[in-house]
Amino acid sequence: MESQIILLIFILVLSIFLGVELITKVPSTLHTPLMSGANAISGITLVGAILSSGSSEIVTIILGTSAVFFASINVVGGYLVTNRMLGMFKKK
Amino acid sequence: MDISILVNLTYIAASILFIVGLKMLGSPDTARQGNLLSASGMLLAVVITLLDQNIIDYRFIAGALLAGGIVGYFAATKVQMTSMPEMVAIFNGFGGIASLLVGSAEYVVSPLNNPALMGAIYLTVLIGGLTFTGSLIAYGKLSEVISGKPFLYKGQQFVNGLLLLTILLVGVNMIFVQGMISPNETLILLISLAFILGILFVIPIGGADMPVVIALLNSFSGLAACAAGFVITNNVLIVAGALVGASGLILTNIMCKAMNRSLANVLFSGFGAVSDSDTERSEEQGEVSPISAQDAYLILEAASSVLIVPGYGMAVAQAQHAVRELGELLEANGAEVKYAIHPVAGRMPGHMNVLLAEANVSYDVLVEPEDVNPIMETVDVCMVIGANDVVNPDAKENEGSPIYGMPIIEVDNSKTVFVLKRSMASGFAGIQNPLFFKSNTRMLFGDAKETVSTLVSEFKG
C-alpha cells in the first residue's frame, strides 16, 4: 500500500511540473478556451463515478450515478463549448 | 491478456492525449485539433472504464451519462459568449460535486480504513465541496443574482478560524482516530462544513475579482479530481487532475499579477467594499471635453494608427460587431488598427479575445499591454470602449489609489484618446478615473454601439 501511494505521489508531482510547462506556453488570447477545456478534463472524475455507480451497494449506486450525471455535464459541455469558441478564432 | 493491463494501458494513452491536446492549445492554429484530441482521450478513458468487470448494472450509468450529456450539450450550444464566465463557474462546481460524490461513495463502502485512503477521501470531499458551493456563489455574483459587492461582517475572521478548526478536527477523527463519531455523521458533517467553507470563501470577494476566483476554482476542481484519483488509485485521474490544477493556478497567478495584487489580497481584502477617499478629488480634476461623433470621425479619418481598447462595457453594449466594422473601415482608409487587450479586461482570463473572435476580429491584430505601451506615443488615436480601470493613469501616478501599481494600457500617452462611455459613473471597481480629465482626452458620451455605428455610417457616408 505504501509503495503504491509513493508511486501515485510521484506521478502527481511530475504531472504538476508538466502542467506548468504546458500551460505557460498557452497565449493569453486562448485563456478562456483553456479554462473551459481544462474544465472538461477535470470531468475525468467521471471514470471514478462510473466505477462507483456500477457497484452493488444501493447508497454507492445513488452517489455514483449522481456523480456520473454531474461529471458528464462537465465533460460534454466543456469540450463542446471549447470547440465552439476555438472555431471562432480566425486569421485573415 | 489480463483486462486490467489493457485498462491501464488505455489510461496511459488517454493521459498522452490530454497532454498533447494541451500542448496544441499553445497556438490558435492547432488549438481546435488539440481540443479534439483531448476529447478523444476522455472518450477512450470512459469507454475502457465501462468494460470494467465489476460493473454490475449499466442502466443507471447509461441514464446518467445520457442525461448529463444532454444538459451539457444544450449548455454548450446555447450559451452566449458574454456569459462564458458564468458557464465556466458553474461547470467548475459540477466537477467539484462529482468528485465529492465519488469520494463519498468510496467512504460509505469502507469508512474504517488505512489513514492514506481516509486522507485522500477527506481531501476529495473537502475540496470538491468547497469548489461546488464556491462556484455557485461565483455564478450568482457573475450573473448578478447575488450582489457583486464584497460581503463583509464583524467577526468574519473569527468565524472562518472556527470553521477551519472544526474541519481540521473532523479530519483528525476521520483519518486517525476513526470512531469518535459514526462514519455517516462524519461524512455528513464534513460535506456540510465543506459547503459552508465554499460559501464563506467566495462571498466576501467583490464582483470585479471574480476572474481570479473562477481561475482558482478551476484549479480546485482539478485538484478534487486528483484527490479522487488517490481514493480509487487511478493514474489518469491524478494526471488529468494535476494538469487542470496547474492550469488554474497559473491563470490565477497571471490575473493577480495583472492587477498587481497578491492572491491573499484578492481573497481576503474585500476589495472595493468601501468607496475610497478619491471621490472628493473628482471635483478638482477639472472638466471633461466631450466631442461629437461627427468631429470624432474627422480625427479618425486623418489618423494613421488607431488602437482600440475594449472592456467589458463593449460586450454589454453588444458593440463588438460594430467595432469590428469600424476597424475594417479604418484599415481600408489606410490606418493601422490594433486591439489592446488587458489581461483583466472582461470577466475571465481571455474573455475579451473570445468576444472579439466571435465578432470576426482576426486574432493577429490583438496585442497585449506590454507590446503596445512602448510605442504608445506614436499612436494617433486610442479608442477606449467600455474599459475603465485598465486605462486608469492613477495606477501609475497616484500612490493613494487602490489600483496603484497595476499594469495598465497607457492610452494617456497617445496623441488623442476617445473614451466611449455612457455617463461619468465610475468603473466596476468603483474608482475615479483621471484619464477623463486629461487634455488629450475627448469623451464620446452615449451607448457604445450607437456611437460606433454613427462613426461607421460617417465613414460610409
| Average pLDDT over every residue of B431-449 | 88
> A6: distance to nearest CA of chain B, Å?
11
pLDDT of residue B192: 97
Interface with B, mutate which of A1, A14, A25, A35 (most B CBs under 10 A): A35
- Looking at the annotation, which residues of B are catalytic? 389
pLDDT of residue B281: 46
Structure confidence by residue, pLDDT tens digits, B290-336: 898 889 999 999 999 999 999 888 888 889 999 999 999 999 999 99
pLDDT at B283 over 70: no
Q: Give A-chain residues touching B358 at CB under 8 angstroms.
A: 88
Q: Is the complex ipTM higher than 0.90?
A: yes
Q: Is A10 on the interface with B (CB under 8 A)?
A: no
Taking CB atoms and an 8 Å limit, are B69 and A36 in contact across chains? no
Binding-face residues of B in 400-429 toward A, CB within 8 A: none
pLDDT at B196 over 50: yes
Q: State in Å, rounded, how far the first CA of chain A is from the last one.
A: 56
Structure confidence by residue, pLDDT tens digits, B103-160: 999 999 888 778 899 999 999 999 999 999 999 999 999 988 888 888 888 888 889 8
Please state, as a whole number, how many other Cβ atoms lie within 10 Å of the Cβ of residue B456. 21
Task: Round to whole Å and give the CA distance between B5 and B153.
Answer: 55
Q: Is A58 on the interface with B (CB under 8 A)?
A: no
pLDDT of residue B165: 95
Contact B244, A42 (CB under 8 A): yes
pLDDT of residue B426: 59
Give the pairing of strands B416-421 and B336-340: unpaired
pLDDT at B278 over 70: no
Task: Round to whole Å and give the CA distance between B346 and B354.
Answer: 10
pLDDT of residue B279: 44
More confident residue, A70 or A3: A70
Residue B359's closest chain A neighbor by CA? A88
Identify residue A55 by its one-letter amino acid code: S
pLDDT band at B429 (very low <50, low <70, confident <90, very high): low
State chain B's mean pLDDT as an integer. Answer: 89
Which cell numbers hold the place of A88? 471562432
Taking CB atoms and an 8 Å limit, are A48 and B237 in contact across chains? yes
pLDDT of residue B276: 43
Using the Cα atoms of residue B254, residue B260, residue B264 and residue B269 in order, give the sign of their dihedral. negative
Taking CB atoms and an 8 Å limit, are A52 and B106 in contact across chains? yes
pLDDT of residue B345: 85
pLDDT at B277 over 70: no
Q: Is B209 on the interface with A (CB under 8 A)?
A: no
Task: Round to whole Å and give the CA distance between A85 and B120.
Answer: 35
CA distances from residue B100 to B77, B104, B122 in whole angstroms, order as listed: 27, 6, 9
- Long-range contacts of range B64-71, CB-CB < 8 Å, 24 or more positions apart? B64/A53, B64/A65, B64/A66, B64/A68, B64/A69, B64/A72, B65/A68, B65/A72, B67/A69, B67/A72, B68/A68, B68/A69, B68/A70, B68/A71, B68/A72, B68/A73, B68/A74, B68/A75, B68/A76, B69/A72, B69/A73, B69/A76, B71/A73, B71/A77
Sorted by where each starts, the structural domains of chain B and their CATH numbers stand as: 79-268 (no CATH), 281-460 (3.40.50.1220)
Q: Is B274 on the interface with A (CB under 8 A)?
A: no
Q: How many residues does chain A have?
A: 92
Please state, as a whole number, how many other Cβ atoms lie within 10 Å of the Cβ of residue B381. 24
What residues form DSSP beta bridges with B305?
B336
More confident residue, B70 or B52: B70
B233: left (phi over 0), alpha (psi -120 to 50) or beta: left
> A1: distance to nearest CA of chain B, Å?
9
Residue A85's closest chain B neighbor by CA? B354
Task: Round to whole Å and give the CA distance between B33 and A82.
Answer: 11
Contact B348, A28 (CB under 8 A): no
Identify residue B160 by its one-letter amino acid code: N
pLDDT of residue A82: 97
| Average pLDDT over every residue of A37-49 | 95
| Average pLDDT over every residue of B42-66 | 91
> B181: distance to nearest CA of chain A, Å?
20
Task: Round to whole Å and give the CA distance between B14 and A24.
Answer: 22
